[in-house]
Amino acid sequence: MTSHIEARLKDLGINLPAPPAPVASYVPTVKTGNLVFVSGQIPAAEGGLKYVGIVGQDLSVDDGKAAARLCAINLIAQVKAACDGDLDRVTRCVKLAVFVNATPGFGQHPEVANGASDLMVDVFGDAGKHARVAAGAGSLPRNVAVEVEAVFEIA
């Protein structure tokens, strides 16, 4: 039987990738109690990195928003792995932290971050509503446009 969340992903046309492996000295997720902390995810997709560059210089706000959405897809893939493949165990997206590789003076971090936030609500419904920080960064790993980390509550 298909889970509720898997059916929702299918309705949205989203096929989760295999969770990206860490590229440095950290683990992709840490479970403590009923919380899963997901390490920062970048806009990686089949074929490599997407949305490389600086928002407000090389990339538009809409590109940044798409990058944040792709990061959120990777977050969901990671939490799925942490839940032994059962996304219906997710009871809440607690918090997102969205980092935007942006030009000095860039002020549309919230609009970029909405790419990740909107996806969480689209996928998890009311349980996808979360606390959030959206911040500018002078640079990000591999010069990607966005990196997003998350905290989820699970059953």
Tens of pLDDT along 139-148? Answer: 999 999 999 9
The three-state secondary structure class of 106 is: coil
Closest CA to 102 of 49, 59, 68: 59
Pairing of β 90-101 and β 146-154:
antiparallel
Question: What's the mean pLDDT in 37-61?
Answer: 97
- Asked whether the predicted pLDDT for residue 1 surpasses 70, the reply is no
- The mean pLDDT value for 111-131 works out to 98
Q: Is 18 exposed, middle or buried (0-12, 13-18, 19+ CB in 10 A)?
A: exposed
Mean pLDDT of 104-133: 98
* Global confidence as pTM: 0.96
pLDDT in tens, 58-116: 999 999 999 999 999 999 999 999 999 999 999 999 999 999 999 999 999 999 999 99
Average the pLDDT over 25-52 and give the result: 96
Q: Percent of the chain beyond pLDDT 70? A: 99
Q: What rounded mean pLDDT belongs to the chain?
A: 96
What domains, with CATH codes, occur in the chain?
A: 4-15+29-154 (3.30.1330.40)
